[in-house]
Structure formats: structure tokens, C-alpha cells
Structure 1
């Protein structure tokens, strides 16, 4: 009896032995997550110990399935852990950026056209610079930045430049921001693994900089002393210039110039939204799509059309294969002697590779290209193309070469969607074949529509929790929108677009781009129409990380097994799906710069205070809480859900009485009473904390929160002020009957490589020693 359960489990595993290798990337992913979870930097010796220990386990237990599984699992987890540690420590440190306006020079890596802010406005551009130098006396002799900078140019900047050019810009820079609340999106981690040092906006027009003027004075833009009041000395070319050239990639500049040239030709033929979407589909440049249309695509469930992925690559490969094969078989001598199917498959793979390079080597397209290469290899060698194994190989390669992609949206959505599609059609293959049969054309058309709806349903359901976690919303009508948009993209838009690209050298691209615009216009219309329906976009609160991981593990369990026990994966999938609805949200949040405060009040989120990044923080908080925003009437001003007294000095309070503001004659102060706890909130204070709050107001308070330094106000009361936020990051407060819980972003994120020092300070870009 004691061995009954292990024997039954081993029998089930043996019956699924052909699916066991598919779990190898899952083990790698578990190791990657294990490295990201601790709040302190884990030691690589843990992974090395796991690797060493896995070998004797594999050798000793090779003759038993349990031994092989245990050794393989430990090996995969250790490899994933070590790969993540290697990628994290291989990245250059985050530099200290100037806090004031600075003149900088750098090489252009790429140029992105941004959408216009008003009707008739051509819009601005965002340039990515590499090998950046700051033209100040303090940075004289220092090596160029090892990370890139993204600079938004002025709207009226008409300088014509491209990748490889060296620019000189006066800009105001900012480092990657801290998370807006504990557990929210971590832009510092994304910047660390993305090679980004920060962003900025140009204060003046860009100009070309000579290749040897890396540390020249800023007199080309404004003569006289630099920002520190000192004259910078002229720079003479030395070894640092060679370092700049070595650290600046040049291999992709011709490709970038070609991409931008094609995008410009598309948008000259198709101005506005149609041209921006055409440039997205053909060269992967999506920055010029207007925000309202991008929102319409998101609300209708068509965002995947704006992200170059497996659908686009499959269309390109299919078109190249069809044209090549029909071209070969049309010649009788070739059709009888050459392997036309294999040649067409190789030509399709090469065409797909060119398309992936032209669209910017995005992760979903790379994953699809790896799978396509495996399928072509199977066709050429006469073997059966195993799609799920190809997906596992693609996932393994990506996790070993860039483990941080596991936390990115494209990786999660693309693999979840493809895995669900493969398994869904594996299960429904026989019913669909019987339904297709040898029916008439009308029946085949209905089957085609059914398969399109089934494809959208499978992919949309599998990626729904991922979309909830990263975008905070559900699109219930995504199937309807995809029924029209996907066939139009595959049969009209992409073929016409590829034909237009081939006609560009002959200046005849309008013959194909104009019809492509008709199809794009129809897709945009369908997206806007579906987005205008009631409940087309349902907001969802912030999904906890364990909830998303639980759903993805359940999806893997459901898709990677073939027996009935695969249905056990539905339980963790359901638990992960409902996790954002059962996780308690904070009652109060203080933004990372200490200037903005959010208070949860029923079905809305009340905001108060001022912040430099208020626009970004407001959007992030609205998404995290899935509630509409309103202003907190700190001085008795009427707001939604607030009841104001006859006189403004009497203050105001919410309908349930939990929040009251402007009472006791103290301006800018609110009292939050909930779950038997009281919080005193000072949301406005023009005295910078010098005007003390009377002790009578502080009496009986469990917590004092202020957007300015507390100084001597409310002495003896637990305090969260601007200095607290500066040291520990954003603060989240839960009011419970058993006490008040305060969680800081520093306590949540810990001391990891990408977590910047208080105030967003990085490591100074010190000059190199002679030996270096």
C-alpha cells in the first residue's frame, strides 16, 4: 500500500514519457524566477552547488525514472538560476546622470517617430543615443556611457539625420523612475536589462557633432562657460575616442537606415494612422500610432496586430513559400527533377529571417523564427515537425541566452498563446476534420470562420491573465474584432505591403501601399467600432506576481500533458485568474517622490498633492486600483462622493464619513478613519513643514502622513513624510483592525542590482586609469 501512490505516479509519467522533455524550459524558468525573488543579491554558489549535486543524482538514479527526473529538475533550475545571475551581473552599472540641463553628444542608434499631439501637428521624434558624453568640466576625460539614452526632440526640430550620425543636444535628463507603489511595474529593472541609462527631453535644437569632438566645449550651442560656471578645455582625440567607437555598435546602422527609409516612404503615401500602422507591420516602427487608435486596438483585443509576432511571420513565410513553390512547379522540367517543396520551405525561412531583421528583431518574432527553422529542418530531413517540441526548444534558447525575457510581456503572451493554439488544435483535430469533410464551398467558408473564431478564443483565453497583469483590463469582444481584422491582415494588408516594399527601389510603391491602406483603414474602423461598445474594456486591479505565476504553471500543466490528469491544471489557472479580485488593495499610497498621495474610497481613487511625474503616477495608480480618479478636496472643495458643509471652512467628508478634510481650521489636512484606525494626512503644505500641526489634531492618530518633511509635527506618532519616501521609496498603507501595515518599495524590492540608491542616484562615471 505504501508503494501504491509512487508506482501509480511513475506509471503515469512513463505513459507520458514523450512529453517529459517539454518540461525542461519550465525548469529553467523556475530557476530564473528563483534568482529574481530574493530581496538581497543571491550567491551564484547556490547554482553551482545545484549543478554539481545534480550530476551524482543523475548517475545514481539513471535506472529509475524518479532519479532521472530529480536530477534533471535540479540541473534545469540551477542552469536557469546561473543564467539569470550571469545576465544580471554582465550588465553595466547604472550611471549617475546630471540633474541639471546638460549638453551631450552621442551616436544615433535609432529614430522613432512619435504621434502628433494636435491635428495638423507633424509630431516629434525620439532618438536613442549610444556612446554618450557630457560636455562639462566635471566629465572631462571620462569614458562614454556604456548605456543608451532616449531623448525626445523638440516638435519644431527639423534636423535630418539617421543612425550612425553623431548629434549634440542640450537636454534635461532623468533616471528610470521608481515603482509607483510596492509590487507595481519596475521600470528600473527593465532599464537595467534593456541597457538603458535613462530618458530626457531636448531643450534646444539638435545639431551635428564632429566625430572627434567628444569633450569639446558647448560653444557650438551656447558660447561661454558651462553649467558649473567654468570653461571646458578643448578635447584632443585619444584612447577614449577609440573606446567610444568600440562601445558603439555599427553593424545595424545600414539596416536601421533602410527601415527608416521604408517607413518614411510608407507614411508619405499613407499619412496619419494608416501609414503609422503600415510602418509597424512592415518595419516594426510603431511609435507614430496616435494614442486614441492605440487605445482602440487595445480595447478591441487587436493589440497583437501592432506587435510583430508569429502571425506576421507566418504570413510572410507562407507567401514566400507559395510564390516560390508555384513558380518552380510551373516549369515542368524543374517540377520533375527538383525537390520543390523543400526549396520553397528554405526560401520561406530565408524570407522570414529577412522580415524579422527588418522589423527590429523583436522577441516574439525571434521565437517564431526559431520554431519555423525547426519545422523547415524537419521537412528537409523527412522527419515529422513537432510543433510543441519546437516551442520548447525556442523557449530553452531564449531563457539561456536572455533569462530576463521571462518577466517581459511579449515572452509570456507569445508562448502562452502558441502553446494554447498547438494543444487546442491537437485536441480538436479530428472533430474539425469531420466538420470540414468534402462539403460545398459555403460549408468550407463556415469552417474557416469557425477556425478563425477558435484561434482567437484559444489565444485570447490563454493570454487573458497576462493581459490583466500587465495592462489591467479585460476585452470581452476580442473574438468579434479578430474575425474581421485577422483575415484582412493575412489576405490583403500584408501581401500588398510586401509587394510595396519590393516596388520601393523602382519608386512604384504607391501602387501597392494605397491598396494596403484600404485594408488598414477597414481594420482601424473595426477596432474603433468594437472599442465603442459598452463594457468593451473592463478594468482589473493589480495582479500579484504569484497569481500570474500560478496561472502560467497551470497552463503548462494543462498543455504539456496528454492524459486526463492534465485537467488538474485548471485549478491553479482559476486561482491565478481570481487572484487580483481577492488581493486586498492598500488604503493609502504615497508616490515615490513623496508629492502625490492616493486614498482608496469605495469605487474611486482620491488623489492629492503635486508631483513632477504626476501624469505617469496617476495613470499607473488608476490601472493598479482599477478605479476612476478624483481629486481629494483637502480644503473643502466639492468632489465626487464628498459632502460639503454649508461653509467651506466647515470642511468636507465622504458619504460614509471615513474621510474628512479641512476640519478644525487646519488647511490641507484630512483624517482617514477606517477599520478602527485613524490616519492624519497632510496633503498640502506650502510651508515645507514649518507650520506645525496642533497637538489636538494629532491626538488619537495611529499614523501621520505628510507630503512635506514632518519636522516637529505630531511628535510621538508613527510618521511617513518626504524623507521617509526619499530613503525607502513609495509607501503603501493597509488599515486593519489588528493594526496598520506600512510597506515600502525598498522593503519589497530589496537591494538588487537594478534598485537605485535613494533619490535615484547611480554610480559616477569615473575616468579610466592608464592601465585600463
Structure 2
């Protein structure tokens, strides 16, 4: 057993690593706010963190030489700051507006244009525009101010009107707010929309009209960048149509919407999905190529080679080029983290100091959490940080041993072996560290990621990205065609590799949903394992392993109910039986299949005599009431009303519900089954969102609203937001 004094001795031995825990504490503070059971007011959100931070700072100043005071004081300050910054970030967002539930004329300014594959029967590409300063033209919203949030509108397939960012447009569209999670604890698109500034999405009912005349510009430099990205994307699609051209556009301008779903699945199953997300790999290649070219040019200039700090100048030029690439590709989170870390390295080179990678990562994470604390729940942030922290810590330990092991080799042989081993080591470290994060967010494991990356990463570094940079430089001169075609050749090899590896047996292993505390245990254990240097760092390994196996330790729900109450799924040993129909049926089924790691099969939507599962636990159509099923499991009987043409006005007979412990209905239950302890119907889903029913120890129901609570980003029942009120009449 360790006593407090021995623990303090351990911390004193790691005192230079304590600063690395600042972003971890900030993230925990922000996470405490986001997981708070209800929305805290000013007192809890601002005043309490300020008081705690002040008291902890006071303790640090009163006992500046006592680690026993400075350590908890610093932890308290970081936690309080993280909580307060998260509260401020959530409350400075504009409210979610109430959107009309019918076709409405919408005018606004095009902020962005995205292309994505059309359905199989239509073929080609479809467009989705992002509208800013949107105004809704109907009798309810007459005289309203422009929306402070953006709208994503999918255009009709036959719409060929030329559009550019900054154009004013008018379109008739059907709008809908961000959807509720498909199951309790599922992906929260309302949270994502709240912090991304989106009000909702929709689809156009007719071709868009471009409004003439000057349009108000509120974007400035962002509009210029969006226009540039659109032109680069259009040029690439013109030269390279098809799936490979979409991948080329992804790595050069960050637009991944046009990549076909089949290609995405191949990349995901082969462990190459990171190639479709502009991150540290792409930015490192771009900055490395820029620094190499600049260094060679300066070396050929005698005056500069003798008088200038060529290494520092080349690093600065690479930093500027990397920043331009980040802007061109849409300023995604992993690219932001990589560019911030490179800024630390460049600054260290310019002032003649040694750049510490782990401290650079900590500083980059701290800045990102202070500016946008909501990234703590973002999959890109979690994967990026997990991969980099594992790489830095792994190379701190293994790189010296690798060099000693290769000391017996010399010349080209040593270089080839060293680069090969470093490539394998990089893939192992990054892939293993991000594996639990992939399991938690995507429900899959890719066991062959190392083999695929051994070929794909060198191709990306030595062939695809260098030719892509040359193509971008040659694009203003219309001389980019040959370089794009050469780049396309390398991309086709990667596509073939991803397809082959994805076709291997066991290339994609599905896993059940990981609980949030399991993912938190993995990330905290990984931080403990990588941030310390002493032997006690290995205490984090059991925590990581425990978090990784939590998907198989959790009890799976027996019944799932969609957010609108119109779809229900019954889980058995090998299949998820889905009954009913819903508007977002495809999305809900995909989320349920991922969460349960089971294939989805449709069960008869209406009660058909004799319809039952192989084990006889689910039987439909045997009673005297059509459209009902009976589930018998764990000694509990559940009545499922999967179809009702009377909208609940025809009451269920008493004998149907006599032995039932619960009844679930797609229609209002009204006067049906009043004596049943648990009654779930359309109104229950309207109030509480998606439902999960557990039958192992009695009937236990968990709803989405119970999991998320009453928060500023959670829409009111039915998906209602803040009414958009018109301007007051002038007196």
C-alpha cells in the first residue's frame, strides 16, 4: 500500500511531466459540464468555478514550495476553468430556431456547396448548399430577422444552376430540425448542430433561383476561401470524375462528401479511413515537402547559405505553407491540432531551442479546449490526440532501443530497415491507441490495419501528396492535368489495396456499443500510460484493457423504440427484429445495428398468423387483434402493437394485456391496458425520445431525455426550438 507521502515522492520525481496533465484536467472539467444532469445557471456555471479557481490559486501562492498544496491546487484550477469555459461556450451560441414543418420559401446567401453521391437509381452527384442569413417567407415568420444559424439544403437532382459561395438564392424547401438520437446514449446530432451553428437541414422541392443584385457579405476572408475551395473541387471533378477523383479532392481541398459509400466502407474495413481525413499525416507530408524544397533552394544560393539561418527560414516557410493547406482543406480539428503543434516546433527552431513534442501536444490541446471545449466529445479530437500521444510516448521509449538494435547495419541497408521498422512501429502505435476510440464511435475493429498502412502510407507520402502539391501550384496556369492524372494513378492503387484488404475474412469485426465511461477509462488510462515516465505508468494498462472490453460487459436492451415511436426493434441472439415504419427508418436501423452489433431484419409490419422467431419468444398475429405481437423473455410478457389503423381509438381487449408486464404501441394507447405497469406509446416517445427496454430483472425503461437531461442543446419534445419572432413595430 502506498501512503500519501510515498505518492508525493513519486510526483516529485515526475515534476517536469505534471504540466502535461493540464489539458487532461481541462477536458475533465469540460466533460463534467457536458454530463451535468441538468442545465446549470450562472451560479454553478460561472460563479462557482471562479470561486474554486480563486481558492486553489490562493493555496498555490500561500504555499508555493509545497507540492502537497500546488498539486491539488493546480488540479482544482484546471477543472474549474474547464467547467466554466464549457458553460460559456454553450451559452454564447445563438438559440435553435423553430423551423416550419411544411414547404417554405427560403432566401439566403450560399456559404458552401458540397457534392455527394446520388442514390443508385439516379446516379451521378447531388449538391447540398449551406445557407447563411436565411429568411423564411411564410405567414408565421413574416418580418423576422435572418436566422443566426445556417441551413443545409439538398438540391433536386436535376438542378443544374451554377452556384458559387456568396450568391443570393431563393428556394422552396422542406426543413427539419436536427434529429434526436436513435437510441439512448446514441450519437447526439443536436449537440453537434448546437456548437457548429446549424439550425437544421432540408431538401428542395424545386430548382433553386439565383437572386440578382448585390448581396450583403458577412463572410469576408471565409467567402474567398470557400470560393477557392469550390473552384479547386470543380477542377478536380472535371479532370478526374469518379471515385478516385473524389479521393483526390478529399486530400487536396478537404471535401469528402463525394466519396462513394462503398469506398468509405473499404477504407474503414482496411484501417485506411485516416487517409480520407486531412490530419497530421497529410500536413506533415505537405510541410516536410515544403521545407525540403526551400532548404534545397537556399542551399544553392551561396549568399543565403553562408549568411541566413536556412533551417529556421525553411521551417517558417513550411509553417506558412502548412497553414495555407489547413485553410484550403476546411480547418478540420485534426489539422488544427497538427498545425498548432508544428507552430511550437517552428518557434523552437527559430529561437534556437529544442522543441518538445509532448509539451507541444499539451499546449495545442490546451488551446483547443480553451477555444472550443466541446471538442472533448468529438471523435476527430479523441482519435487525433490518442494517436499522437501514443506516437510521442512510444518513440520516447522505443526509438533509442531501435537505433541500438540497428547499430550493426550500415549504409543503404540500415536506412531501409530503419524506415521499414519505423513505419511498422508508427502504424502499430497509432492504430492500437485509436482502436478503442474506433470501437466506441463506429462499432468496428480492423485487425489488418498495419498491413494496409505499410503500403498506403508510403504511397501517400512519396507519390500522391507531392504530385498533389505540384498540381495545386500548376492549377492557376491550367497545367495541372498531367500531375492530377499521375496522382490519380497512386490513388487507384490505394483504392485497390483497400478493396482487397476489406475483402479478407475477418477484416471488419463488429462490436456492441461501448458505454461512455468505458471510453473515458480507455482515454484516462492511455494518458496515465503515456504521460508518466516511471514504472507506475504501467498502472494505466489494466484501466485501458478494462475500458476496451466494456462492450461485452454491458447488458444489451431487449427492445428499442425509435424517437418518433413508430419503429421498434426486438433483439434476439443473432438478429435485431425491426417492426413498424418511420420517417428516418434507414438511419435508425443503421444506428441500432451498430449499437447491438447485430444484423437487422424486417419482421412483418402487420400481424400475420404464424409469424414467429425460431425460438418462439416473439409471436405475431395469433391473437384476435390484428397488428399485435407478444414477446416472452426472462419470465416477462410484453405486448407489441406494431400496426393500428384506428390511431389508438380501438382499445386493446383486456385479455390481450391480462398477463403483460409492459405494452408498447406505435399508436396512442389511450384507454388500452390501463392496468399494465409499463405503457409506452407514441406520446411517450414524443416526450422522452428514443426508449430502451430491459427485461432481465423486471421491466426497466431508459429514455433519451433521461440520459441527456434538460440542456440548452436538447430540443423541446417534438423537436421544437425557439420561435422566430418578427421585429417590433416602430412607433
What is the TM-score normalised by the length of structure 2?
0.97
Summarize deviations over 1:168-205 as a string: whole Å, max 9, x none: 11111110011111111111111101111000011100
Q: State whether structure 2 residue 711 is matched by structure 1 residue 742.
A: no
Matched position secondary structure for 1:114 = strand
What are the equivalent positions in structure 2 for 1:159-558 lying under 5 Å apart? 159-210=161-212, 245=216, 248-437=218-407, 438-558=409-529
Shift of 1:769: 3.8
Match of 2:109 in 1: 107
Cα separation, 1, equivalents of 2:285 and 2:730: 54
Matched position secondary structure for 1:670 = strand
Note if contact 1:57-1:70 (Cα within 8 Å) is conserved in structure 2: no
Match of 2:98 in 1: 96
Q: State whether structure 2 residue 731 is matched by structure 1 residue 731.
A: no
Shift of 1:458: 0.5
Cα separation, 1, equivalents of 2:114 and 2:145: 27
Match of 2:27 in 1: 29
Worse-superposed segment, 506-515 or 385-394: 506-515
Shift of 1:121: 3.0
Cα separation, 1, equivalents of 2:196 and 2:414: 49
Summarize deviations over 1:612-659 as a string: whole Å, max 9, x none: 11011011111111100112236566xxxxxxxxxxx3x233232221
Q: 1:655 aligns with which of 607, 614, 628?
A: 614
Cα separation, 2, equivalents of 1:120 and 1:758: 36
Cα separation, 2, equivalents of 1:533 and 1:384: 45
Note if contact 1:300-1:477 (Cα within 8 Å) is conserved in structure 2: yes
Aligned length: 725
Cα separation, 1, equivalents of 2:515 and 2:110: 38
Cα separation, 1, equivalents of 2:318 and 2:115: 31
**Counterparts in 2 of 1:212 and 1:726: CA distance versus 1, 3 Å:** farther
Shift of 1:249: 2.3
Cα separation, 2, equivalents of 1:141 and 1:755: 27
Note if contact 1:541-1:623 (Cα within 8 Å) is conserved in structure 2: yes
Worse-superposed segment, 141-150 or 714-723: 714-723
Cα separation, 2, equivalents of 1:633 and 1:270: 45
Q: State whether structure 2 residue 582 is matched by structure 1 residue 611.
A: yes
Shift of 1:335: 1.2
Matched position secondary structure for 2:3 = helix
Note if contact 1:270-1:514 (Cα within 8 Å) is conserved in structure 2: yes
Matched position secondary structure for 1:160 = coil
**Counterparts in 2 of 1:635 and 1:112: CA distance versus 1, 3 Å:** closer
Matched position secondary structure for 2:702 = strand
Match of 1:39 in 2: 37
Shift of 1:440: 4.2
Note if contact 2:580-2:605 (Cα within 8 Å) is conserved in structure 1: no
Worse-superposed segment, 659-668 or 265-274: 659-668
Q: State whether structure 2 residue 20 is matched by structure 1 residue 18.
A: no
**Counterparts in 2 of 1:715 and 1:462: CA distance versus 1, 3 Å:** same
Shift of 1:603: 1.4
Shift of 1:119: 8.2
Note if contact 2:607-2:627 (Cα within 8 Å) is conserved in structure 1: no
Shift of 1:507: 0.8
Note if contact 2:111-2:166 (Cα within 8 Å) is conserved in structure 1: yes
Summarize deviations over 1:527-548 as a string: whole Å, max 9, x none: 0110111111111111111110
Shift of 1:666: 2.5
Q: State whether structure 2 residue 540 is matched by structure 1 residue 565.
A: no
Cα separation, 2, equivalents of 1:742 and 1:658: 20
Cα separation, 2, equivalents of 1:653 and 1:359: 52
Match of 1:218 in 2: none
Match of 1:630 in 2: 601
Structure 1: runs of 5 or more not aligned: 214-244, 638-648
Note if contact 2:607-2:629 (Cα within 8 Å) is conserved in structure 1: no
Q: 2:656 aligns with which of 697, 702, 721?
A: 697
Shift of 1:120: 8.4
What are the equivalent positions in structure 2 for 1:22-101 lying under 5 Å apart? 22-42=20-40, 43-44=44-45, 45-101=47-103
Cα separation, 1, equivalents of 2:620 and 2:606: 6
Aligned-residue CA RMSD in angstroms?
1.6
Shift of 1:374: 0.4
Matched position secondary structure for 2:238 = helix
Note if contact 1:634-1:669 (Cα within 8 Å) is conserved in structure 2: no
What is the TM-score normalised by the length of structure 1?
0.92
Summarize deviations over 1:333-390 as a string: whole Å, max 9, x none: 3212211111111111011011111111111111111100100111111111100000
Cα separation, 2, equivalents of 1:492 and 1:659: 56
Cα separation, 1, equivalents of 2:272 and 2:296: 32
Cα separation, 2, equivalents of 1:451 and 1:211: 58
Summarize deviations over 1:679-711 as a string: whole Å, max 9, x none: 111111122112222211111111010000112
Summarize deviations over 1:592-621 as a string: whole Å, max 9, x none: 011100111111100000101101101111
Q: 2:680 aligns with which of 720, 728, 743?
A: 720
Matched position secondary structure for 1:124 = strand
Cα separation, 1, equivalents of 2:115 and 2:405: 47
Shift of 1:164: 0.5
Matched position secondary structure for 1:680 = strand
What are the equivalent positions in structure 2 for 1:660-679 lying under 5 Å apart? 660-679=619-638
Cα separation, 1, equivalents of 2:219 and 2:240: 32
Note if contact 1:634-1:661 (Cα within 8 Å) is conserved in structure 2: no
Q: 2:570 aligns with which of 574, 586, 599?
A: 599
Match of 1:234 in 2: none
Matched position secondary structure for 2:549 = helix
Cα separation, 1, equivalents of 2:119 and 2:537: 50
Shift of 1:150: 0.3
Shift of 1:442: 3.7
Matched position secondary structure for 2:504 = coil
Match of 1:686 in 2: 645
Cα separation, 1, equivalents of 2:414 and 2:81: 51
Note if contact 2:131-2:151 (Cα within 8 Å) is conserved in structure 1: yes
